[in-house]
Amino acid sequence: MLSAVENAVSRPEPSCATGGNAFDRIILGRFACRDFASRPVSRETIEEILAVARYAPSGANIQPWQVYVLAGVEKERISSALLEAHRDARDEHSSEYKYYSTELPEPYLSRRAQFGRIYYGSLGIQQSDTAARANQTSKNYAFFGAPIGLIVTIDRRLEIGSWLDLGMFIQNVMLAAGARPAFVPAGDILEIPPDLAPNAFDSRAANGGLRHFHRLAS
Ligand SMILES: Cc1cc2nc3c(=O)[nH]c(=O)nc-3n(C[C@H](O)[C@H](O)[C@H](O)COP(=O)(O)O)c2cc1C
C-alpha cells in the first residue's frame, strides 16, 4: 500500500520511453550508478564530454564551472585521502555550504526518508546500522569504482544563481557521458525488495521493481 506521498510522486513511465527520440531515451536512461567496472575510459572520450557539456547555459554567460579530471594514481591518491578523512577524522571536517535546509519541510522530508528506506533496503542495510551505512557512504570517495573521477568546483565568491549554472553544466556532463558507447547497460542487477514501495524517485522501478543499472563497458 503506497502512502499518500508515494502516490503523489509515483508516475507511470512517460510514453516517450519507448519512442524513437534518442535524446529522450538518454535522459530516461541516466541514473545514479553506484557500482562501476574499472575498464579505462579514454582521455579523448572525457575531453569530448567536457567540450560538449560546456555549451550549458549560464547567467550572463559567465560559465562558472571548473572541472578536475582524476585518473590513475592521482585518483587513487585523492580517494585514499578522502577515505582516510571519512574513516578517522569525520568530525574535523564540515561542509562550506548547506545542502539541505536544517528543518526539511514536507513533502521533502518524507521523500528523503523514503529514499533512505529504498536505498539502504535494496542493499540489505538496516537504517540503524550506522557502521554499514558509513561503509556504503565511503564508496562515494572511491568514485564507486569508476576509473575516472570528476571534481567540479565553483569560485566561493559566487552566489546561488551561479550554482544553478553549475547544475546545468553537471547535467550536461552526465547526459553527454550517457550518450557514449563507453557507458552501456549491464542488465538488471539490483532487485528492490517486495516490501518496499516502488521507487517514487525512479519511475523506471515502478513497473517490475527491478532497477536498471548502466555500467562502464567491461
Ligand atoms: C547534487 C547531487 C548530489 C548527490 N549526492 C549523492 C551522494 O553523495 N551519494 C549518492 O550515492 N548519490 C548521490 N546523488 C544521487 C541521488 O541520490 C539520485 O540522483 C536520486 O536518488 C535520484 O536517482 P537517479 O539519479 O538514479 O534518478 C546525488 C544527486 C545529486 C543531484
Question: What does the pLDDT average to over 74-97?
Answer: 94
Ligand 1 binding pocket includes 202 (Cβ within 6 Å): yes
pLDDT of 14: 72
**pLDDT grade, residue 184 (50/70/90)?**
low
Domain spans of the chain, in order of start: 30-91+101-216
> 33 CA distance to ligand 1 centroid (A)?
9
> 175 CA distance to ligand 1 centroid (A)?
15
CATH class of 30-91+101-216: alpha beta
Q: What is the pLDDT of residues 49-80, one digit of tens each?
A: 999 999 999 999 999 999 999 999 999 999 99
Ligand 1 binding pocket includes 140 (Cβ within 6 Å): yes
Q: What is the pLDDT of residues 123-161, one digit of tens each?
A: 999 989 999 999 999 999 999 999 999 999 999 999 999
DSSP string, the chain: ---HHHHHH--PPPGGGGSS-HHHHHHHH-------------HHHHHHHHHHHTT---GGG----EEEEEEHHHHHHHHHHHHHHHHH-GGG---SS-SS-SSPPTTHHHHHHHHHHHHHHHTT--TT-HHHHHHHHHHHHTGGG-SEEEEEE--TT--HHHHHHHHHHHHHHHHHHHTSTTEEEEEEEEEPPTTSPP-TT-GGGTTTSEEEEEEE--
pLDDT of 20: 75
pTM of the model: 0.81
